[in-house]
């Protein structure tokens, strides 16, 4: 009944036994306790569960965990390097790009996936990149300003 | 100046129209029962008030109030 | 020490910022307790039905199921947030004999996991006897309509009336009178975190509840009433909350069912509502049908307004009674109507209950009022800005018998928006700018909850190293009150923001506060925090004055960690040193400052009001009626700005929410069933549709607020729908009187207009 699953999450390899119907978001939140990733709708419409898988942002409520076998996954918990915040996190703080914070993890990971694809995105590309993420609090514009600041190089990433 | 006393509660108004407003507006059982006892349908008066202007719903009642509730 | 403030008005990171951007913030949604069970709620599939029988025996026998509760497990009480009025406490939560809408709870299950709980729901056998139902407020008040609540004739739940002046006489003096009908639709709060609660009842009879709530104090008190427990035996903790917007300050089914299940078996139970439940079985914005009559003199002076509204109350009262009142009061805003009359009615229907939502009746009132002002301005041939200038409220204005307005920057806001519009020059075809003015309250004065406590309270405790623990019942639901209140406390006490650690909304350790609604936290809780900080400061200064041996004619103050002579700032001692010594000098007694605030002699509505004017530019596609929001410029004033980043966020977020109300957010129903209970079908404004936003801050100072601050967030939801409707009229010449303003409505109205023009030729 249970199946083997190998994943690397935030640089840490895991070997898990899971029920085949388990979703990636369930593995992250319930099996590994990585509750930074949220669930807002369970149908891929809100983006709160967004993580970066093999460099691209995906909605982890729409990914069967088994289909992610062998993947490298980054969640919000893996953004900061030790005590040093990721540039996107610093920019989110400076620009007030979050309020209730429930969409923030997913939003950050969508932005990360976007910057992986386009290191210097236009404003329209940023809007497009986070169009799958609903934020009920901020009205998005502060998020866009934060991503622009990162792409301008206002925040140096520690190597 | 004459005044008009609500037949079921303590409200006193300067005009019968204002008292009619009060009675329909208050809309609790006592007020509705009094309105019904005069042969009106409260819901019809209210619907009239909510869908048209000119206060026809109030006016009908105010005529009765004018006669029955005037105090010196 | 040149600047007026050290902390206030500065761009700071929110105090909960790092935990939110790193994913370490633990929401109720994330809480897992040892031995915890997962709960699910069985809900009515009928809009109206008699419950003949409920058989839970099969579900109870299922492996992995630990408890099932129905109305039989309750103490048979009805609850409501209008506690002063028992007839308005009409909600059992777990229905005993009758269900009143699709989604009304009838049973709840606690099981080893959510899948099991879900399956167990299928094993509960409920026999219903369907009853006739009613789905709209205008149908509900008919003589032959079925009664939603037995004994409530005509389904009239509440009526509210506001009046001043002599409206009938005033209309006789008007040169122009307009009468219009408007229909305002519903809206879902659509919080990212659905309603959820984790409850843990211990063997010693104490209950702890972690809840996604806007008012942990209300949750505590209402739960006590429904469970037959003492308030002090219930502790409600509010972790970070994933949005509230008015939808989370009543006792809800997740909180009540989790608590009831936990109490039955002494194990922790967590219930998280699904997104579908969130859409269909919580509360929603109040739909209202209005008739409004307004009269003016030729010169643009408005003499009278008479407005009637009937709200679709849905199945229960909740905060809907307040919405009914506030839509009546804010229909008079922000103008000096010398004669005004409002008659409001709330009718029960067999639909999802309607209640508070950001703006609380005011966005509906402003949609109606601001369109009508524009329309009468047009009738009179007066510029829309000008008519607002002629009639707009001014500082120190008294709304007759209702409210007293102290600070008011409406006219400065009008000037700024006037300049902006003039600067835009001539617009391309099918483009238009619409304007709406608004005002909003800074917390309500009304006490229908019947709390015996001060509306807001705070306690400040100083540690030996001068660090400050701030205890307050205020609820940060994302709007940022933890940060704002920490800033106010730091400023008053004269310490750094990082010296403050806030402990908020835990009913066991924090003094009561009425919670985050009606834009009350900054002013009301801010005043309490400021008073608590001042109390602690006085105790420190007493010691410092003695220690420094200053002449008593000098006044001491604290700022940036220094205690100094107000008129000789160079004579100073370290705050941190003095605190250490002061505590020793008091035989080790902790320094505690206490503060509380309840508005007195401030009218009937609110202690303060903020104002603003918004201009929205839209582009309408005449072929399809589709409209795009181009730019939203808002001039607003909220007294002293405590947290500027916070205000920007509130404003831009309000545009997303209020723009959604105007354009696309709606909950259409068929026979009482909501047709779009998912995020795929419920359309909100996403990043690609979000317009540009510009903010113009107008400087005002509110004497009643902490450091001059007042409301800054909820009111911003008010103007947008009205401004958009006015913009559409200015773009393509059609008036849309019902929400949402869909492409179909614009297209049909344009067709109708064309046909009329053709006929006229």
How many whole angstroms separate alpha carbon B35 and alpha carbon C305?
Answer: 27
Angle at A45 between CA A41 and CA A51, to 5 degrees: 85
How many whole angstroms separate alpha carbon C358 and alpha carbon C718?
Answer: 9
Q: What is the reported pLDDT for B43?
A: 85
Residues A111/A133/C505/C12 CA torsion (nearest 10 deg): 40
* Pick from C136, C353, C667, C330: nearest CA to B51: C136
Mean pLDDT of C634-659: 96
C-beta atoms surrounding C693 within 10 Å: 21
Shared domain check, A66 and A18 = yes
Domain range holding B18? 3-71
| Domain end (from A55, A78, A101) | A78
Q: Chain-centre distance of CA C629, in angstroms?
A: 25
| Residue C439: strand, helix, or coil | strand
Q: How do residues C70-107 score in pLDDT, each as one tens digit?
A: 999 999 999 999 999 999 999 999 999 999 999 999 99
pLDDT at C363 over 60: yes
Nearest neighbour of A76 by CB, restricted to C11, C22, C651: C22
| Domain end (from A37, A61, A78) | A78
| Residue C500: strand, helix, or coil | strand
B touches A, CB cut-off 8 Å, minimum 3 pairs: no
Q: Do A142 and C652 touch (CB under 8 A)?
A: yes
C32: left (phi over 0), alpha (psi -120 to 50) or beta: beta
Residue of A nearest to C12 (CA): A94
Q: How far is CA C543 from CA C539, C550, C585, C589, C592, in A?
A: 7, 11, 8, 13, 14
Full DSSP string of C685-711: --TTTPPEEEEEE-----TTSGGGB--
Omega prior to C334 cis, within 30 of 0: yes
| Domain end (from A61, A78, A95) | A78
Q: What is the reported pLDDT for C475?
A: 97
Nearest neighbour of B43 by CB, restricted to C141, C161, C341: C141
CA distance B21 to chain C (A): 9
Mean pLDDT of A91-98: 98
Determine what percent of chain C is predicted with pLDDT higher than 70: 100
* pTM for the model: 0.95
Report if residue A157 sits inside a domain: no
What does the mean pLDDT of chain C come to? 96
Q: Which chains sit next to A, with 3 or more Cβ pairs under 8 A? A: C
Shared domain check, A36 and A19 = yes
Instruction: Determine the residue among C17, C20, C198 to mutate to test chain A binding: the one whose Cβ has the most chain A Cβ atoms within 10 Å.
Output: C20
pLDDT bracket for residue B72 (50, 70, 90): low
Q: What is the reported pLDDT for A158?
A: 61
Reading the block at residue C386, the tokens are 């000008």
CB C519 within 8 A of CB C479: no
pLDDT at C18 over 50: yes
Q: How many contacts, defined by CB atoms under 8 Å, are there between B and C?
A: 45
Q: Which of residues 16-35 of B touch C (CB under 8 A)?
A: 17, 21-22, 25-27, 29, 32
The phi, psi pair for A46, rounded to 5°, reads: -110, -25
Mean pLDDT of C38-49: 98
How many whole angstroms separate alpha carbon C537 and alpha carbon C592?
Answer: 10
Q: How do residues C224-261 score in pLDDT, each as one tens digit?
A: 999 999 999 999 999 999 999 999 999 999 999 999 99
Helices (H), C289-361: 320-330
Shared domain check, A143 and A97 = yes
Q: What CATH number should be reported for the domain holding residue A15?
A: 3.10.20.30
Q: Do B42 and C293 touch (CB under 8 A)?
A: no
Nearest neighbour of A140 by CB, restricted to C194, C243, C690: C690
Structural domains in chain A (count):
2
A136: which chain C residues are within 8 Å (Cβ-Cβ)?
Answer: 190-192, 243, 245, 653, 656-657, 684
Shared domain check, A53 and A115 = no
- Kindly provide the residue ranges of all beta strands, DSSP E only, lying in C150-283, ordered along the sequence: 156-164, 176-184, 196-201, 207-211, 234-237, 269-272
Q: How do residues C283-330 score in pLDDT, each as one tens digit?
A: 999 999 999 999 999 999 999 999 999 999 999 999 999 999 999 999
Identify the H or E element spanning A74.
strand A72-74
Q: How do residues C650-665 score in pLDDT, each as one tens digit?
A: 999 999 999 999 999 9
CA distance B60 to chain C (A): 16
- Kindly provide the residue ranges of all beta strands, DSSP E only, lying in C505-626, ordered along the sequence: 556-559, 562-565, 568-574, 591-597, 609-620
How many whole angstroms separate alpha carbon C637 and alpha carbon C633?
Answer: 13
C161: which chain B residues are within 8 Å (Cβ-Cβ)?
Answer: 21-22, 25-26
C13: which chain A residues are within 8 Å (Cβ-Cβ)?
Answer: 93-94
Reading the block at residue C160, the tokens are 């509210």
Q: Which of A140-154, B57-71, C339-353, C642-656 has the lowest mean pLDDT?
A: B57-71
Nearest neighbour of C310 by CB, restricted to B41, B44, B50: B50
pLDDT bracket for residue C457 (50, 70, 90): very high
Q: In which residue ranges of chain C is CATH 3.30.365.10 found?
A: 17-24+455-597, 284-446+603-760
Report if residue A53 sits inside a domain: yes
How many whole angstroms separate alpha carbon C574 and alpha carbon C556?
Answer: 13
Residue of C nearest to A35 (CA): C30
Shared domain check, A108 and A141 = yes
In CATH terms, C31-131+191-244+248-280 corresponds, of 3.90.1170.50, 3.20.20.70, 3.40.50.80, 3.40.50.280, to 3.90.1170.50
Residue of C nearest to A94 (CA): C13
Class of domain C284-446+603-760: alpha beta
pLDDT bracket for residue C1 (50, 70, 90): very low
Q: Do A85 and C22 touch (CB under 8 A)?
A: yes
Q: What is the reported pLDDT for A156?
A: 80
The phi, psi pair for C422, rounded to 5°, reads: -60, -35
Q: What is the reported pLDDT for B54?
A: 65
* Distant-in-sequence, close-in-space partners of C4: CB < 8 Å, separation ≥ 6: none
**Edge-first strand listing for the sheet containing C627-637:** C431-441, C609-620, C627-637, C692-697
C343: which chain B residues are within 8 Å (Cβ-Cβ)?
Answer: 21, 25, 49
Reading the block at residue C524, the tokens are 């009301």
How many whole angstroms separate alpha carbon C277 and alpha carbon C114?
Answer: 15
How many whole angstroms separate alpha carbon C417 and alpha carbon C698?
Answer: 11
Q: In which residue ranges of chain C is CATH 3.90.1170.50 found?
A: 31-131+191-244+248-280
* Pick from C312, C275, C268, C308: nearest CA to C292: C308
- Kindly provide the residue ranges of all beta strands, DSSP E only, lying in C442-590, ordered along the sequence: 456-462, 468-472, 500-504, 556-559, 562-565, 568-574
Residue of B nearest to C139 (CA): B47
Chain C residues with CB-CB distance to B under 8 A?
A: 138, 141-143, 153-154, 156, 159, 161, 168, 179, 181, 289, 291, 293, 308, 310, 341, 343, 345
How many whole angstroms separate alpha carbon C525 and alpha carbon C515?
Answer: 9
Structural domains in chain B (count):
1
User: First and final CA of chain A: distance in angstroms?
Assistant: 43
Q: How many contacts, defined by CB atoms under 8 Å, are there between A and C?
A: 165
B27: which chain C residues are within 8 Å (Cβ-Cβ)?
Answer: 156, 159, 345
* Distant-in-sequence, close-in-space partners of C595: CB < 8 Å, separation ≥ 6: C457, C458, C459, C460, C527, C528, C529, C530, C531, C532, C533, C534, C535
CB B4 within 8 A of CB B70: yes
Q: Do C345 and B47 touch (CB under 8 A)?
A: no
ipTM: 0.97
Identify the H or E element spanning C580.
helix C575-585
Residue of B nearest to C142 (CA): B43
pLDDT bracket for residue B1 (50, 70, 90): low
| Residue A122: strand, helix, or coil | coil
Mean pLDDT of C561-584: 95
Q: Do C141 and B46 touch (CB under 8 A)?
A: yes
Reading the block at residue C97, the tokens are 């004999």
Q: Do C291 and B52 touch (CB under 8 A)?
A: yes
Q: What is the reported pLDDT for C323?
A: 95
B11: which chain C residues are within 8 Å (Cβ-Cβ)?
Answer: none
**Edge-first strand listing for the sheet containing A50-53:** A12-18, A3-9, A72-74, A50-53, A56-59
Shared domain check, A66 and A35 = yes
The phi, psi pair for C743, rounded to 5°, reads: -55, -40
Domain range holding A71? 3-78
How many whole angstroms separate alpha carbon A144 and alpha carbon A110?
Answer: 12
B touches C, CB cut-off 8 Å, minimum 3 pairs: yes
Nearest neighbour of A99 by CB, restricted to C22, C649, C692: C649
pLDDT bracket for residue C530 (50, 70, 90): very high
CB C740 within 8 A of CB C676: no
Residue of B nearest to C143 (CA): B43
Reading the block at residue A19, the tokens are 């029920």
Q: How do residues B3-31 score in pLDDT, each as one tens digit?
A: 899 999 888 888 888 888 888 877 778 88
Assign a CATH topology to domain C17-24+455-597.
Answer: Aldehyde Oxidoreductase; domain 4 (3.30.365)
Q: What CATH number should be reported for the domain holding residue A136?
A: 1.10.150.120
Report if residue A159 sits inside a domain: no
Q: Do C143 and B46 touch (CB under 8 A)?
A: no
pLDDT bracket for residue A159 (50, 70, 90): low
Q: What is the reported pLDDT for B60?
A: 83
Shared domain check, A67 and A111 = no
Q: Which residue has the higher pLDDT, A45 or B51?
A: A45
Nearest neighbour of C291 by CB, restricted to B22, B43, B51: B51
Name the β-bridge partners of C573: C563
Q: Which chains sit next to C, with 3 or more Cβ pairs under 8 A? A: A, B
* Pick from C551, C540, C539, C532: nearest CA to C469: C532
Query: By the CB < 8 Å criterion, does B43 face chain C?
Result: yes
Q: What is the reported pLDDT for C168?
A: 85
Nearest neighbour of B47 by CB, restricted to C141, C159, C293: C141
C-beta atoms surrounding C689 within 10 Å: 18
C-alpha dihedral sign at C688, C690, C691, C692: negative
């Amino acid at each position: 009944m249970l199946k083997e699953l190998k994943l690397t999450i935030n640089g840490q390899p895991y070997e898990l036994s899971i029920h085949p119907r388990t979703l990636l978001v369930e593995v992250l939140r319930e099996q590994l306790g990585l509750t930074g990733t949220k669930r807002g709708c369970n149908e891929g419409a809100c983006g709160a569960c967004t993580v970066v898988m093999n460099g691209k942002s995906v909605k982890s409520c729409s990914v069967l965990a088994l289909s992610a076998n062998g993947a490298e996954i980054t969640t919000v918990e893996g953004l900061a390097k030790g005590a040093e915040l990721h540039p996107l996190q610093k920019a989110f703080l400076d620009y007030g790009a979050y309020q209730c914070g429930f969409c923030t993890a997913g939003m950050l990971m969508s932005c990360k996936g976007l910057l992986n694809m386009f290191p210097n995105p236009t404003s329209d590309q940023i809007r497009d990149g986070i169009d799958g993420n609903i934020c009920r609090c901020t009205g998005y514009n502060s998020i866009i300003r934060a991503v622009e600041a990162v792409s301008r190089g206002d925040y140096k990433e520690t190597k | 100046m004459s005044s008009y006393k609500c037949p079921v509660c303590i409200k006193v108004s300067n005009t019968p129209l204002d008292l009619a407003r009060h009675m329909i507006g208050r809309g609790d059982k006592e007020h509705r029962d009094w309105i019904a006892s005069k042969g009106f349908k409260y819901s019809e008066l209210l619907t009239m008030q909510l869908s048209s202007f000119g206060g026809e719903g109030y006016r009908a009642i105010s005529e009765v109030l004018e006669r029955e509730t005037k105090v010196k | 020490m040149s600047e007026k403030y050290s902390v206030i008005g500065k761009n700071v990171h929110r105090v909960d910022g790092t935990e939110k951007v790193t994913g370490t913030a633990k929401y109720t949604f994330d809480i897992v307790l040892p031995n915890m069970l997962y709960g699910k709620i069985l809900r009515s599939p009928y809009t109206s039905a008699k419950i003949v029988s409920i058989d839970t025996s099969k579900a109870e026998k299922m492996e992995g199921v630990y408890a099932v509760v129905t109305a039989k497990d309750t103490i048979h009480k009805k609850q409501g947030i209008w506690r002063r009025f028992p007839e308005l406490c009409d909600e059992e939560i777990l229905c005993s004999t009758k269900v009143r809408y699709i989604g009304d709870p009838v049973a709840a299950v606690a099981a080893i996991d959510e899948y099991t709980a879900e399956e167990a729901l299928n094993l509960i056998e409920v026999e219903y006897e369907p009853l006739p139902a009613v789905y709209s407020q205008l149908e509900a008040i008919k003589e032959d309509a079925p009664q939603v609540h037995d004994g409530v004739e005509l389904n009239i739940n509440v009526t509210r009336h506001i009046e001043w002046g002599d409206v009938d006489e005033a209309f006789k003096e008007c040169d122009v009178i307009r009468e219009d009908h408007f229909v305002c639709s519903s809206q879902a709060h659509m919080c990212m975190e659905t309603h959820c609660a984790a409850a843990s009842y211990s063997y010693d009879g104490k209950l702890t509840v972690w809840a996604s709530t806007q008012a942990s104090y209300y949750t505590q008190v209402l739960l006590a009433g429904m469970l037959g427990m003492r308030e002090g035996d219930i502790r409600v903790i509010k972790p970070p909350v994933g949005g509230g917007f008015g939808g989370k300050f009543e006792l809800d089914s997740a909180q009540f069912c989790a608590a009831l299940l936990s109490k039955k078996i002494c194990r922790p139970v967590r219930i998280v509502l699904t997104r579908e439940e969130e859409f269909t079985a919580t509360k929603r914005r109040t739909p209202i049908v209005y008739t409004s009559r307004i009269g003016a003199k030729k010169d643009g002076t408005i003499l009278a307004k008479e407005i009637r509204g009937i709200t679709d109350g849905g199945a229960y009262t909740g905060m809907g009674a307040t919405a009914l009142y506030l839509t009546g009061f804010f229909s008079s805003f922000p103008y000096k109507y010398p004669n005004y009359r409002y008659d409001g009615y709330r009718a029960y229907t067999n639909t999802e209950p309607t209640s508070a939502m950001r703006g609380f009746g005011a966005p509906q009132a402003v949609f109606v009022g601001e369109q009508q002002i524009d329309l009468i301005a047009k009738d009179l041939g007066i510029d829309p800005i000008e008519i607002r200038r002629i009639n707009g409220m001014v500082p120190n204005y008294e709304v007759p018998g209702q409210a007293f307005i102290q600070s008011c920057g409406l006219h400065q806001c009008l000037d700024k928006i006037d300049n902006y519009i003039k600067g835009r020059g001539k617009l391309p075809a099918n483009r238009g700018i619409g304007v709406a003015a608004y005002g909003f309250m800074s917390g309500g004065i009304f006490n229908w909850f019947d709390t015996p406590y001060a509306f807001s309270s705070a306690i400040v405790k100083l540690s030996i190293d001068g660090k400050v623990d701030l205890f307050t019942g205020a609820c940060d639901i994302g709007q940022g009150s933890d940060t704002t209140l920490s800033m106010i406390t730091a400023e008053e006490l004269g310490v750094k923001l990082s010296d403050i650690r806030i402990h908020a909304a835990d009913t066991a350790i924090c003094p009561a506060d009425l919670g985050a609604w009606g834009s009350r936290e900054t002013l009301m809780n801010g005043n309490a925090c400021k008073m608590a900080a001042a109390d602690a400061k006085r105790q420190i200064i007493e010691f410092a004055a003695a220690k420094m041996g200053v002449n008593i004619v000098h006044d001491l103050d604290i700022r940036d960690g220094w205690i100094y002579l107000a008129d000789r700032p160079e004579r100073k001692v370290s705050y941190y040193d003095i605190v250490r010594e002061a505590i020793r000098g008091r035989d080790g007694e902790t320094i505690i400052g206490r503060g509380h605030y309840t508005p007195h002699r401030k009218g009937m509505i609110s202690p303060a009001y903020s104002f603003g004017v918004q201009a929205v530019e839209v582009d309408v596609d005449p072929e399809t009626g589709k409209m795009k929001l181009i730019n939203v410029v808002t001039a607003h004033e909220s007294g002293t700005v405590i947290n500027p980043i916070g205000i920007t966020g509130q404003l831009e977020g309000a545009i997303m929410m209020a723009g959604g109300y105007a354009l696309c957010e709606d909950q259409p129903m068929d026979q009482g069933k909501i047709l779009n209970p998912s995020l795929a079908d419920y359309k909100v404004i996403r990043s690609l549709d979000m317009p540009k936003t510009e903010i113009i801050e107008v400087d005002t100072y509110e004497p009643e607020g902490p450091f001059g601050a007042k409301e800054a967030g909820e009111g911003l939801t008010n103007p947008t729908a009205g401004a958009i409707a006015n913009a559409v009229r200015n773009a393509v010449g059609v008036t849309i009187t019902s929400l949402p303003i869909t492409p179909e409505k614009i297209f049909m109205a344009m067709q109708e207009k064309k046909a009329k023009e053709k006929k006229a030729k």
